Amino acid sequence: MRSIAVACLSAVALSAVVLSAVVLAGPALGSPPPPIPAAAAPPPSDAVLAAKLATAEELADQARRSAALNVEIARKNAAVDARNAARRAAYEQAVADYKAGLARQDAANAKVKADYDKAMDAWRADVAACKAGEVKRCAATAPAAPAFKAATP
């Protein structure tokens, strides 16, 4: 029995030692290791600084050229828009002139037709009077056919 008691005491003592070691080392076991201080990065070399500066200057130059090209394209687009507007206005004026010419021709043809119809009515009245016995109206001749003009704008 003594050996069991000694074994129990040794187990208890061993547990106490392990437990105290865990308690003392607890924060170190459960957390990541502390960072190792990094060596200070060496300052960039002149070549690295020159490359960064050249890249920045190139980007600025590209931005300036891009802005200049955008202005030129906008100017050319405005010129094209103005030219298109002028051509559209000229076309619309030409169509209006054409329609006005057609209207004038239609009016002239209507006048010619009205004059002809009036002359034909007078001639028909003369023929009817001649047939009715008025001899002096028998000398009338039929009016000539009107000369209508073709619609030419």
pLDDT at residue 8, as a whole number: 47
Q: Compute the Cα dihedral for 111, 112, 118, 121 and give only its sign.
A: negative
Sequence-ordered list of residues with C-beta below 8 angstroms from that of 108, at least 6 positions apart, any chain: 149
Alpha helices in the chain (DSSP H): 2-30, 46-131
pLDDT at residue 103, as a whole number: 96
39 vs 34: CA distance, rounded Å: 15
Lookup: tokens for 74: 């906008």
pLDDT tens column, 116-151 = 999 999 999 999 999 998 888 888 787 887 776 666
pLDDT at residue 111, as a whole number: 93
pLDDT at residue 81, as a whole number: 98
- The mean pLDDT value of the chain amounts to 80
pLDDT tens column, 77-113 = 999 999 999 999 999 999 999 999 999 999 999 999 9
Sequence-ordered list of residues with C-beta below 8 angstroms from that of 142, at least 6 positions apart, any chain: 120, 123
**CA 27 to each of CA 15, 33, 36, 37: distance values in angstroms, whole numbers, following the listed order:** 19, 10, 17, 20
Lookup: tokens for 91: 């076309």
pLDDT at residue 77, as a whole number: 98
- Among 50-54, 62-66, 101-105, 125-129, the minimum mean pLDDT is found in 50-54
Q: Looking up tokens 């060496």, which residue turns up?
A: 42
CB-based burial, 54-84: b 16+ in 10 Å, e otherwise: eeeeeeeeeeeeeeeeeeeeeeeeeeeeeee
User: Helix, strand, or coil here: 37?
Assistant: coil
